[in-house]
Amino acid sequence: SAEPVVLGIETSCDETGVGIVRGRVLLANAVASSMDEHARFGGVVPEIAARAHLESLTPTIERAVADAGIRLDDLDAVAVTCGPGLAGALMVGVSAAKALAIALQKPLYAVNHLVGHVGADLLRDPDPPRRADPPRGAGLRGVAGDVGELELPTVALLVSGGHTSLLLVRDLLDDVELLGETIDDAAGEAFDKVARLLGLPYPGGPEIDRAAASGDPRAIAFPRGLTRAKDLERHRYDFSFSGLKTSVARWVERREADGGSIPVADVAASFREAVADVLTAKAIAACRDHGVPRLLLGGGVAANARVRGLAAERAAAAGVALRVPPLSLCTDNGAMIASLGAQLVAAGHAPSGFAFGADSTLP
Ligand code: KG4
Ligand code: ZN
């Protein structure tokens, strides 16, 4: 049978994402972001995000359909993120997806945002670019389009502005185990807060990454959360970044009180090193403990150069195969939701119907 053509809608945070796939082939990935509107508040404002989704969703659907070169009638199903995320933001996407599915008389699938991030890793580019220089970070998994098959089980490390989760994925559709998660701030949130301390603009992740490139990662010994023997007993796969953030804040305050200037590059590099160290050490430990020699990265923080680099180093040393999606599929997008939807259709799963709502705290 033909591979299902699925449109996926993602509105859990500040990205309005609409993707279209045919089975595992990526046809379109249109994203509109309200990031700029939140910048002056230093973080995502839920009310602004929801209103922005309402304004951008229809044009983004139109753009995705045009990019994919299909007609809405060609769709076999619609998929949508139903949680976790910002309640009001999710409701806009869920309502739009229901309207679309009802109007087109197509089945509708509700998808968990976190599992969607893993779905991103299934996708192939229909028209792989033939270029001599692989895109940044592509050395880890070959040139886009030449991605091989996703092998299961795999450990997945999902790190973004809203979540920091370590998953054991035995089956994408019905066997995803949460091994651990952050007990306070998400990793991306820590990047954004530390950037603010250093006077860098929002979102802070890419800014810190850039500043850190010329800094010394050993300049300042910042703490690694939940890594002491005592913590590991109860929180082997959990993360904590608020102590690290506070430690950076205190360090900067002390330096300012002493009348010294802030060595932004060194602080950024030392902070980035602390985050990358903990994330990759715990992810590799999970692979070892569970005898799973595969690790997959996802989420906006997986775009971080040091997170990618250290993951590659440690995975190689541990004999773990590492998969990192292209940057455009790491950050929130609709293609990953469409991808998971296509898997659900192909596996013959029953559609979700229309009675489901948005669940901001979906496990
Ligand atoms: O996955 P994403 O686009 O949206 C959420 O679901 O949150 O992730 C956004 C987060 C932001 O906190 C941003 O600062 C962080 O990912 N981020 C980075 C980098 N690029 C984006 N953090 C560290 N290094 C980066 N290069
Ligand atoms: Zn996300």
Statement: residue 285 has pLDDT above 50: yes
What lies within 8 Å, CB to CB, of 197 at 6+ separation is 245, 248, 249, 252
* ipTM of the prediction: 0.98
Q: How far is CA 297 from CA 29, 64, 154, 203, in A?
A: 19, 25, 10, 20
Task: Please report which ligand is nearest the Cα atom of 161.
Answer: 1
What's the 330 CA to ligand 1 centre distance in angstroms?
9
The predicted-structure confidence for 330-344, as pLDDT tens digits, reads as follows 889 999 999 999 999
> Per-residue pLDDT averaged across 251-277, rounded?
96
Question: Could you tell me which residue, 133 or 328, shows the higher pLDDT?
Answer: 328
Domain range summary for the chain, segments of one domain joined by +: 5-123+330-346, 154-324
* Residue 181, beta-bridge partner list: 165
Equal CATH topology for 5-123+330-346 and 154-324: yes
**For residues 341, 343, 346 and 349, what is the CA-based torsion angle, rounded to 10 degrees?**
-70
Q: Is residue 134 classed exposed, middle or buried when 0-12, 13-18 and 19+ CB atoms within 10 A define those classes? A: middle
Atom of ligand 1 at shortest range from CA of 275: 23
What's the 14 CA to ligand 2 centre distance in angstroms?
10
Please tell me the least confidently modeled range out of 46-60, 112-126, 261-275, 332-346. 112-126
The CATH number that domain 154-324 falls under is 3.30.420.40
Residues with Cβ within 6 A of ligand 1? 13, 160-162, 188, 191-192, 203-206, 209, 299-301, 303-304, 331-332
Half-sphere exposure at residue 277, Cβ-oriented, CA atoms within 13 angstroms:
17
What span, in angstroms and rounded, lies between the C-alpha atoms of 39 and 61? 25
Rg for the chain (alpha carbons), in Å? 20
Q: What is the mean pLDDT of the chain?
A: 91
Per-residue confidence at 127, pLDDT binned at 50, 70, 90?
Answer: low
> Per-residue pLDDT averaged across 17-41, rounded?
91
Q: How many residues are recorded in the chain? A: 363
Task: Please report which ligand is nearest the Cα atom of 160.
Answer: 1
Annotated binding site: 113, 117, 158-162, 192, 205, 209, 304, 332
Percent of the chain with pLDDT over 90: 80
The predicted-structure confidence for 201-241, as pLDDT tens digits, reads as follows 988 999 999 999 999 999 999 999 999 999 999 999 999 99
- Identity of the residue numbered 222: F
The CATH number that domain 5-123+330-346 falls under is 3.30.420.40
What span, in angstroms and rounded, lies between the C-alpha atoms of 299 and 271? 19
The Cβ of residue 221 has, within 10 Å, a number of other Cβ atoms equal to 10
